[in-house]
Amino acid sequence: MALLSPPPEAATPADGLGHTERAFWRAWLQATQSLTDRLDRELNDDFGITIADYEAMAHLAADPDGRLRMSELADLALVSRSRLTYRINRLEESGLVRREPCESDKRGYFAVLTERGAAVLAQAQPVHVAGVRAGLLDQVPAEVADTLLAVLDRIAAASR
C-alpha cells in the first residue's frame, strides 16, 4: 500500500498525481539532484573528478588489491558497462586508474587504482564526506534515520 496514494478525484489530469504526491516527487527530484550537483561540483572544482569518478575509485580502493573486474565495478557503481568503460577511459587518461588484462579470461579486464588515484581519492575523501554529512546526513533527524533507510532500500529494490 502506497503511503501517498490519494483518492482518484484528488489526482490532477495533467500528471495523474495528487497534490501531496506531486509535492513529494518534486521534493525528491530537487533534493537528490541539487545534492548530487553540489557534491559533483565540489569534487570537480577541487580535484578534477566527478562524483561518479569518486564512487568508482572508492570501490577500487575498498578492494584489498585495489582492483576489480570491469563488470563487477559496473555493478557496484550502478552503471552500464559501456558507461563504466567511458568513465575508466577518462580516469585512465588522467592517470588515476589503469586497466590490466585478466589472465583467466582473455576478454576481461581489471580496473586498478593507481598510486596517483589513491592519493587523489585520499585528498577528496574528507571533502566528499563533509559534503555528504552537511547535505544529507545532518539533515535527517536520528529518530527517523532507520525508517528513512528502510524506505530508500525499498525504493531501490523496487527500481531494480
CA dihedral 62, 63, 65, 70 (to 10 degrees): -120
C-alpha cell at 90: 577518462
- The phi and psi torsions of 104 (rounded to 5 degrees) equal -85, -15
The pair phi, psi for residue 69, each rounded to 5°, is -60, 145
pLDDT digits (tens, 9 = 90+) for 75-122: 998 888 889 999 999 999 999 999 999 888 878 899 999 999 999 999
Give the per-residue SS3 of 68-91. EEHHHHHHHHCCCHHHHHHHHHHH
Taking the chain (160 residues) in consecutive chunks of 10 residues, what is each chunk's mean pLDDT?
Answer: 56 75 93 96 96 95 93 90 92 96 85 96 97 96 94 90
Residue 33 DSSP SS3 = helix
